[in-house]
């Protein structure tokens, strides 16, 4: 999977992947997306991503149960980075 | 004449690759070498539903239960399908010798032959350290030697730690299903002494529907633990990844990460270190990859494991004389490789700034494991040689090969200072098509990068700075650098230079499902498009380089290492360890003789 933010020194792709999955539902409709003003960037989604779990940012938590707007994309193959085998 | 040769070749090939078209499949498969007393699942698969009254399964002419000590379970319709099976879990054979298994359904008969071997009564080695450079091939070895040692008067100025070992062999890596292995059945061969198929760990590949139901074979972890020894697995991959998982796992599918975490727990392995923490976290914890709410961090702690999530914590835990069990998880994914960790600070180093490298993890493991007076078995993996070779990132692969050598150097020092009774084995699990072709010299005239490649005498010598004490040149983007090429690749842009911005991502799948070159590198000055030589459509489409079937090198030293020589099967490495540790002690030399090769 290619993630442009990774090449430019931004978030690693694992974070990118998680972010997109978590917020996939609110992005389901372009029409809906244009209606919401709650903007969240991939850089501000998490407070920390650590070995013992991720912690969402205060900004993200404040938007719980609200529609949010995020810009970005994922490019196939959508495999976690460690799955470099034949399966 | 030509047709005659072809005909003969075909006949020989047919005899080689296919035995009789047997109606029954018997596990372990024919020609299995089985350690006397080691546990294995015995299974006979029949072609269809058969009448158990007509079934006759014998070993050396007598009913199988006489040799295996108990009766199997009859499964009339395995997994609800129209086929019967006979399954006996946790069987073993104590007496070395040749065993012929015959299985008949009343109409057809098939047979397999096993060799059961014992070991000397007395152990030659107290400890074993098995180093696995994942995908570590001859090309990596040559490249790292050039970078780490340099050449003067046409000779290397020093020897690599992995080279300076008295015994060497070529290991062949093919499996039960293919000439090419992956890291699962390759590592499985080392940890169990049995061959298996791609993606399988600790099992033979049968027709069972569930990945956890296939016929199991005992791991060296289990065998060593049964004798009171300590066992460890150290990697810079995710701890659930195939090579470390082969120490404990029994699954047809290496991606069963959550099950593999449970298998680690059940194995009671003493030290485990690597990345891959999300499969230890309950699903209620953000970032978890579990499908249940079991908190394995807590379970391991409850079982008296010390937990380390950083290098600092690891060093403190290892220094504490009370620590005899250690769980080290240093990254959510793979631990960063040497080039990123020590020099470029790319990858996930910003996110995880306090990760240990492989030698540091190994030293912590040695401290903890050596607290067991009965000795230990430790597997140490430099995992990302393989991962960076998949991504055609030669510099990162070579730096991780140097990291393997640094670990071996320190292990040799440890062994010398601790009684000289440790068998050290260094090998790869499989190969990549990687070669040192020459150099690239930025100062050669002209705009085209390909015309800056020097071959033969034009290659000369690269101008990397002298290596540091651990063997790494501190600068990789020098003006005259190694030209290391991979022989299998997808479409990609060849940039002729190290990827300082982060690991190379050669290809991506486009909207039409075709694997194409990653456009992100299109505008890198001098980049040239290489059309791939691997499938680019369908399920076999490759977004990176692939494993090859080339032999791998095994070097060895210490007690028991003299068994390493010539060409050996990868499964023979298990036998070298088993014999050195006397894992199946035989009272009489004659009965142990079946193990001599």
Asked if A18 has any chain B CB less than 8 Å from its own CB, the reply is: yes
Q: Can you say how many angstroms the Cα of residue B505 is from the centroid of all Cα atoms in its chain? A: 23
CA terminus-to-terminus distance, chain A: 16
pLDDT of residue B594: 45
CB contact under 8 A, A12 and B348: yes
Residue B421 burial (C-beta neighbours within 10 Å; 0-12, 13-18, 19+)? middle
- For A76, name the nearest residue in chain B, comparing CA atoms only: B509
- For B540, name the nearest residue in chain A, comparing CA atoms only: A86
Q: Can you say how many angstroms the Cα of residue A26 is from the centroid of all Cα atoms in its chain? A: 12
CB contact under 8 A, B286 and A83: no
- pLDDT tens digits, one per residue of B393-432: 999 999 999 999 999 999 999 999 999 999 999 999 999 9
For chain B, the residue count is: 597
The sign of the torsion formed by the CA atoms of B174, B178, B183, B185 equals: negative
Asked if A51 has any chain B CB less than 8 Å from its own CB, the reply is: yes
Asked if B287 has any chain A CB less than 8 Å from its own CB, the reply is: yes
- Exposure string of A36-71, with b = 16+ CB inside 10 Å and e = fewer, is eeeebebeebbeebbbbbbbbbeebeebeeebbbbe
Cβ pairs bridging A and B (under 8 Å): 88
CA terminus-to-terminus distance, chain B: 39
Percentage with pLDDT > 70 across chain B: 95
pLDDT of residue B22: 52
Pairing of strands B155-156, B431-432: unpaired
- pLDDT tens digits, one per residue of A57-71: 999 899 989 888 888
pLDDT of residue A74: 57
pLDDT at residue B107 greater than cutoff 80: yes
The DSSP-derived string for B374-425 is T-EEEEEEETHHHHHHHTT-HHHHHHHHHHHHHHHHHHHHHHHHTTS-EEEE
- Among B427, B378, B425, B431, smallest CA distance to B551 is for B431
Helix (H, G, I), strand (E, B) or coil at B202: coil
- pLDDT tens digits, one per residue of A17-27: 333 334 444 44
Asked if B520 has any chain A CB less than 8 Å from its own CB, the reply is: yes
- Disruptive mutation site among A16, A17, A53, A73 for chain B (greatest number of B CBs within 10 Å): A53
Q: Give me the residue label for tokens 């036998």.
A: B575
Asked if A30 has any chain B CB less than 8 Å from its own CB, the reply is: no
> Where is pLDDT greater, at B451 or A36?
B451
pLDDT of residue A32: 52
Tokens of A85: 């085998």
CB contact under 8 A, A7 and B334: no
pLDDT of residue B586: 96
Confidence of residue A36 (pLDDT cuts 50, 70, 90): low
Query: Mean pLDDT score of chain B, rounded to an integer?
Result: 95
CB contact under 8 A, A85 and B182: yes
Residue A24 burial (C-beta neighbours within 10 Å; 0-12, 13-18, 19+)? exposed
Extract the runs of DSSP E, i.e. beta strands, from B79-197: 85-91, 97-104, 109-117, 127-133, 151-152, 155-156, 167-172
pLDDT at residue B16 greater than cutoff 60: no
- Disruptive mutation site among B188, B287, B296 for chain A (greatest number of A CBs within 10 Å): B287
- Would you report the helix, strand and coil content of chain B in percent, each value rounded to 5? 30, 25, 45
Stretch B33-55: mean pLDDT, rounded? 97
B79 Cβ contact partners less than 8 Å away, ≥ 6 residues apart: B207, B208, B209, B210
pLDDT of residue A4: 34
Nearest-by-Cβ selection for A14 from B184, B333, B520: B333
CA distances from B310 to A51, B104, B274, B353, B370 (A): 9, 57, 11, 9, 22
pLDDT at residue A16 greater than cutoff 60: no
pLDDT at residue B456 greater than cutoff 80: yes
pLDDT of residue A85: 43
pLDDT of residue A28: 46
Give how far B285 is from chain A: nearest CA, Å.
6
Q: Rounded to an integer, what distance in angstroms lies between the CA atom of residue A47 and that of residue A54?
A: 8
pLDDT of residue A23: 43
pLDDT of residue B2: 43
Pairing of strands A46-50, A53-56: antiparallel
pLDDT at residue A15 greater than cutoff 90: no
Asked if B135 and B432 touch (Cβ cutoff 8 Å), the reply is yes
pLDDT of residue A71: 82
pLDDT of residue A42: 79
Asked if B210 has any chain A CB less than 8 Å from its own CB, the reply is: no
> Where is pLDDT greater, at A40 or B221?
B221
Cβ-defined contacts of A19-28 (< 8 Å, 24+): A19/A45, A19/A46, A19/A70, A19/A72, A20/A72, A20/A74, A23/A68, A23/A70, A26/A67, A26/A68, A26/A69, A27/A70
Give how far A37 is from chain B: nearest CA, Å.
25
pLDDT at residue B301 greater than cutoff 90: yes
Q: What is this model's ipTM?
A: 0.86
Q: Rounded to an integer, what distance in angstroms lies between the CA atom of residue B534 and that of residue B180?
A: 15
Asked if A64 has any chain B CB less than 8 Å from its own CB, the reply is: no
Q: Rounded to an integer, what distance in angstroms lies between the CA atom of residue B426 and that of residue B381?
A: 10
Stretch B524-531: mean pLDDT, rounded? 97
Asked if B450 and B569 touch (Cβ cutoff 8 Å), the reply is no
pLDDT of residue B305: 98
pLDDT of residue B408: 99
Helical segments of B23-137, H only: 64-68
Q: Rounded to an integer, what distance in angstroms lies between the CA atom of residue B3 and that of residue B9?
A: 10
pLDDT at residue B201 greater than cutoff 70: yes
Count of alpha carbons within 13 Å of B591, Cβ hemisphere only?
12
pLDDT at residue B592 greater than cutoff 50: no
- pLDDT tens digits, one per residue of B19-39: 444 589 999 999 999 999 999
Q: Rounded to an integer, what distance in angstroms lies between the CA atom of residue B197 and that of residue A84?
A: 17
């Amino acid at each position: 999977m290619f993630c442009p933010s990774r090449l430019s020194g931004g978030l690693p792709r694992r974070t990118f992947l998680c972010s997109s999955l978590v917020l996939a539902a609110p992005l389901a409709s372009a029409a809906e997306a244009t209606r919401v003003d709650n903007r969240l960037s991939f850089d501000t989604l998490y407070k920390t991503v650590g070995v013992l779990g991720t912690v969402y940012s205060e900004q993200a938590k404040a938007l719980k149960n609200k529609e949010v707007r995020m810009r970005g994309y994922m490019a196939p193959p959508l495999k976690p980075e460690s799955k470099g085998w034949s399966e | 004449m030509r047709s005659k040769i072809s005909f003969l070749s075909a006949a020989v090939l047919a005899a080689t690759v296919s035995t009789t078209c047997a109606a029954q499949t018997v596990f372990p498969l024919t020609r299995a070498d089985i350690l006397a007393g080691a546990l294995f699942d015995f299974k006979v698969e029949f072609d269809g539903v058969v009448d158990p009254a007509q079934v006759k399964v014998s070993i050396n002419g007598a009913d199988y239960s006489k040799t295996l000590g108990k009766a199997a379970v009859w499964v009339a319709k395995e997994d609800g399908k129209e086929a019967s099976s006979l399954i006996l879990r946790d069987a073993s054979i104590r007496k070395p010798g040749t065993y012929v298994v015959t299985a008949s359904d009343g109409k057809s008969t098939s047979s397999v032959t096993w060799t059961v071997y014992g070991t000397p009564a007395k152990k030659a080695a107290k400890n074993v350290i098995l180093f696995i450079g994942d995908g570590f091939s001859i090309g990596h070895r040559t490249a790292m030697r050039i970078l780490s040692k340099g050449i003067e008067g046409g000779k290397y100025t020093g020897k690599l730690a992995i080279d300076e070992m008295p015994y060497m062999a070529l290991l062949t890596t093919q499996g039960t299903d293919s000439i090419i292995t992956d890291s699962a059945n390759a590592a499985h061969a080392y940890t169990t002494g049995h061959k298996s198929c791609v993606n399988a760990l600790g099992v033979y590949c049968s027709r069972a529907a569930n990945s956890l139901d296939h016929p199991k074979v005992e791991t060296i972890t289990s065998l060593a633990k049964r004798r009171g020894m300590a066992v460890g697995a150290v990697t810079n991959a995710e701890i659930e990844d195939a090579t470390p998982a082969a120490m404990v796992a029994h699954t047809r599918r290496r991606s069963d990460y959550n099950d593999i975490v449970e298998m680690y727990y059940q194995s009671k392995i003493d030290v485990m270190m690597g990345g891959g923490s999300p499969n230890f976290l309950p699903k209620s914890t953000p970032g978890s990859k579990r499908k249940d709410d079991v908190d394995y961090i807590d379970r391991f702690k409850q079982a008296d494991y010390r937990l380390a999530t950083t290098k600092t914590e690891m060093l403190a835990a290892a220094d504490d004389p009370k620590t005899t069990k250690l769980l080290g998880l240093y990254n959510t994914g793979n631990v960063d490789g040497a080039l990123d960790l020590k020099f470029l600070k790319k990858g996930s180093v910003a996110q995880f700034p306090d990760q240990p490298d492989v030698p540091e993890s190994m030293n912590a493991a040695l401290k903890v494991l050596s607290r067991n007076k009965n000795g230990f078995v430790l597997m140490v993996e430099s995992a990302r040689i393989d991962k960076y070779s998949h991504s055609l990132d030669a510099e990162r692969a070579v730096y991780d090969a140097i990291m393997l050598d640094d670990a071996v150097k320190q292990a040799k020092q440890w062994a010398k200072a601790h009684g000289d009774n440790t068998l050290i084995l260094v090998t790869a699990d499989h190969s990549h098509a990687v070669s040192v072709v020459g150099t690239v010299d930025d100062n050669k005239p002209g705009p085209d990068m390909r015309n800056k490649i020097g071959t033969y005498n034009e290659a000369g010598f690269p101008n990397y700075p002298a290596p540091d004490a651990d063997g790494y040149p501190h600068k990789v983007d020098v003006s005259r650098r190694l030209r290391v090429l991979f022989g299998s690749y997808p479409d990609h842009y060849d940039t002729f230079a190290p990827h300082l911005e982060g690991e190379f991502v050669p290809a991506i799948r486009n909207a039409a499902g075709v694997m194409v070159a990653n456009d992100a590198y299109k505008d890198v000055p001098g980049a040239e498009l290489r059309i791939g030589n691997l499938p680019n459509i369908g399920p076999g489409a490759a977004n990176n380089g692939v494993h090859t079937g080339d032999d791998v090198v095994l070097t060895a030293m210490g007690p028991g290492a003299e068994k390493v020589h010539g060409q050996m099967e990868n499964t023979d490495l298990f036998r070298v360890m088993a014999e050195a540790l006397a894992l199946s002690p035989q009272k009489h030399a004659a009965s142990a003789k079946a193990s001599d090769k």
